[in-house]
Structure 1
């Protein structure tokens, strides 16, 4: 969602704030709209000394803004007299809360959050008397059960991404599996950890499925297309894909949603979305008012409303009771929201987007390239380290 869409709904969200805040925020957001990508708009505004008071940001953008000193640390606001109580802090999903920090300091506050879910053809699953998989072992068993050359069916289609195109849904499926095997994307200092034992075990799991023909690769949302045409049983994609998957299946079968299966170390998922930061261009009074607005926007009632109107997920657990009526017709939202507790964002390091492309390339090398998992991940590790070094030079 771009800031123009944000501005269209913002008047509905504002309440008894000062009129100048209403006008100023809208004015600043509208100066950052039209046809230029959001990050470029913000950077151009900052360079021209016309930075907004607040803007939605991805965590790697925020890392750059923080190092340049153009966004404000939020710790004093969060812990101040107009801050969050201990209960309010703990109500924010753990994975979302962790994403707000850069080098131990809070520079962002949650806004648009999303993660990944497992879509499946429930009609097919029940017809074949298969369980909804809750572990990756069960998932592999279901894939095997439905794969048939004569019927032209298989378990899952995915886009693994590539070094040139970058990370795609299949890349994030792999990183989610890696997390469930106990792996991480990086150390606390931001160094990639693509070649660990957990990373190798998770990639070997995926390679085995591909070699057996249970998983096929494609581009342009192949999971959605294959499941919708009843060639594959599953699609592993973001919760934001729900509507498009419904369109793809066109009512031919009952589609359902479940959380990603668990691995030997528990659950894993990949966090997506944007947060909000306050820019140093704002006056002291404007910063305080902007914080009041951000805090209100993340309150249970308002984050519930925002989620229902946009398809994003509520940033706090306390919003779920306010969404009971909505959840009755959109049960996948609560499933996805609860996965935010353990979802992990891509590390906010300059060059890490390029590094994720190297990880996607490792999936390609270990499958279609017939390289060993160890060598493919060692190559990815070396490329990722180089990508991050180049970005910082």
Structure 2
């Protein structure tokens, strides 16, 4: 009997030990396996986040450094290491190389097309577990983001990015010149062309419009004139040169060409348009709201300038949605990703976003930031700055396919050639359609 009792006791002891080893006691389970704890900081741990970004100069650099310092002052156990690169092209090159070497940072600024490529190789961390976790975002938080901007962070319906420095293109204009000439702010493309012609000086001392052409202006005109899609549903070919799309595509290529020929529009390179506008040598400019601090600094008090929603065409008003989102990389440690999520959540909070907008000229990404006291006061003092938020409803992104980056280069080149009469509109459209289709087919 004693031997049987001993055997039963031994069996029970083994079972208890096995259950304990397998985590049978839920009260002592590993918090790392609890989805609710995803993204929750532990006060007893030290965290380091490597954030690669492209804010290397000016107001942007000051703004992100200030916000990082504020965050670290509130979270003494977290170190945010900012790595600023001199351009988005450099940032993309560095990120691509780092991912290939399995040495990606914790988080970075990314464009939608970059993110799509990184996600294809499983380099991006899905944000869904963080959003739904204990330190996540409520449905009211999500609803507070502007829908266009929130959805911009998704790939195939999954949230991989949170919005950061978002902007749209607007029309900058010299208030003094328009007042002198008795011209109302243009609201249609025809009104804009008439205004450009009227304010141009025959002696060459002032152009109506000075701008550096890019795919974004062409895409905006294309949509405004009735263009629909840019890429086929399977992502293998360009569709802006096909069927009913061809006419708005041609008009977008040719509508301003006569004004370039006549000297009413000055086609520039890089940021030379800013010099023209700031010097009063052009009455209009087209650029993103993020250009505002640079323009304001250059103009000083020489004249009054303002912003307006881009004029619309026969199909309505449209504007390209610019700027990057923030993404997290899957190769980072769990602790680094936990802190990165908390920092991302901080940067997208209403208070931090309001500070960022006021300092840089970028867009509010949340309704509560736009409607809050900080920005309400700011926009009351700077009413022209509201052109950005007012334009959000017209914002669009042509494509998030990785190959669209190459299409951008092709279209920008051919659009510029059409504007400067180096190519006819028909030849330019054929060339850019074929060129973009080739890039898309290559993937």
- TM normalised by structure 2 equals 0.75
1:178 and 1:268 in contact (8 A); partners too: no
135-144 or 69-78, larger mean C-alpha shift? 69-78
**Are residues 330 and 188 of structure 1, via their aligned partners in 2, closer, same or farther at CA, if it must alter by over 3 Å?**
farther
**Residue aligning to 1:229:** 279
CA apart distance, 1:256: 1.4
1:200 aligns with 2:250: yes
2:231 and 2:238 in contact (8 A); partners too: yes
Aligned length: 375
Q: In structure 2, which of residues 223, 246, 249 is the aligned counterpart of residue 179 of structure 1? A: 223
In the alignment, the residues of structure 1 paired with residue 54 and residue 286 of structure 2 have an alpha-carbon distance, to the nearest angstrom, of 25
1:96 and 1:343 in contact (8 A); partners too: no
* Unmatched tracts of structure 2, length 5 or more: 1-52
CA apart distance, 1:34: 6.8
User: Helix, strand or coil: the match of 1:374?
Assistant: helix
In the alignment, the residues of structure 1 paired with residue 212 and residue 270 of structure 2 have an alpha-carbon distance, to the nearest angstrom, of 7
User: Helix, strand or coil: the match of 1:313?
Assistant: coil
**Residue aligning to 1:89:** 142
**Residue aligning to 2:110:** 57
**Residue aligning to 2:166:** 113
1:33 and 1:41 in contact (8 A); partners too: no
**Residue aligning to 1:164:** none
1:154 and 1:232 in contact (8 A); partners too: yes
User: Helix, strand or coil: the match of 1:341?
Assistant: helix
CA apart distance, 1:88: 3.3
**Are residues 299 and 354 of structure 1, via their aligned partners in 2, closer, same or farther at CA, if it must alter by over 3 Å?**
same
**Are residues 362 and 42 of structure 1, via their aligned partners in 2, closer, same or farther at CA, if it must alter by over 3 Å?**
closer
* Unmatched tracts of structure 1, length 5 or more: 161-167
**Residue aligning to 2:308:** 258
**Residue aligning to 2:352:** 302
1:313 aligns with 2:363: yes
CA apart distance, 1:33: 5.0
**Are residues 143 and 84 of structure 1, via their aligned partners in 2, closer, same or farther at CA, if it must alter by over 3 Å?**
same
1:132 aligns with 2:190: no
In the alignment, the residues of structure 2 paired with residue 76 and residue 135 of structure 1 have an alpha-carbon distance, to the nearest angstrom, of 45
1:376 aligns with 2:421: no
2:177 and 2:199 in contact (8 A); partners too: no
- TM normalised by structure 1 equals 0.84
User: Alpha-carbon deviations, 1:271-328, whole Å to 9, x = none?
Assistant: 2221111221245565455434323321222211222233322211221122122223
In the alignment, the residues of structure 1 paired with residue 264 and residue 163 of structure 2 have an alpha-carbon distance, to the nearest angstrom, of 38
**Are residues 109 and 34 of structure 1, via their aligned partners in 2, closer, same or farther at CA, if it must alter by over 3 Å?**
closer
User: Alpha-carbon deviations, 1:95-126, whole Å to 9, x = none?
Assistant: 32232122333211111112212111111101
2:167 and 2:323 in contact (8 A); partners too: yes
Q: In structure 1, which of residues 209, 232, 236 is the aligned counterpart of residue 259 of structure 2? A: 209
**Residue aligning to 1:331:** 383
CA apart distance, 1:255: 1.1
Q: In structure 2, which of residues 412, 417, 424 is the aligned counterpart of residue 360 of structure 1? A: 412
In the alignment, the residues of structure 1 paired with residue 69 and residue 292 of structure 2 have an alpha-carbon distance, to the nearest angstrom, of 27
1:120 and 1:256 in contact (8 A); partners too: yes
In the alignment, the residues of structure 2 paired with residue 43 and residue 87 of structure 1 have an alpha-carbon distance, to the nearest angstrom, of 35
Q: Which of the pair has more CA radius of gyration? A: 2
In the alignment, the residues of structure 2 paired with residue 50 and residue 238 of structure 1 have an alpha-carbon distance, to the nearest angstrom, of 33
**Are residues 211 and 91 of structure 1, via their aligned partners in 2, closer, same or farther at CA, if it must alter by over 3 Å?**
farther
In the alignment, the residues of structure 1 paired with residue 356 and residue 276 of structure 2 have an alpha-carbon distance, to the nearest angstrom, of 31
RMSD of aligned residue pairs (Cα, Å)? 2.9
CA apart distance, 1:14: 4.9
1:71 aligns with 2:160: no
**Are residues 75 and 187 of structure 1, via their aligned partners in 2, closer, same or farther at CA, if it must alter by over 3 Å?**
farther
Q: In structure 1, which of residues 3, 9, 13 is the aligned counterpart of residue 71 of structure 2? A: 13
120-129 or 201-210, larger mean C-alpha shift? 201-210
User: Alpha-carbon deviations, 1:111-163, whole Å to 9, x = none?
Assistant: 11122121111111011111101111211121122234246433112222xxx
5-14 or 99-108, larger mean C-alpha shift? 5-14
1:146 aligns with 2:204: no
**Residue aligning to 1:163:** none
46-55 or 227-236, larger mean C-alpha shift? 46-55
User: Alpha-carbon deviations, 1:183-237, whole Å to 9, x = none?
Assistant: 2433454443332232222223222433444322122434323333333210111
1:313 and 1:333 in contact (8 A); partners too: no
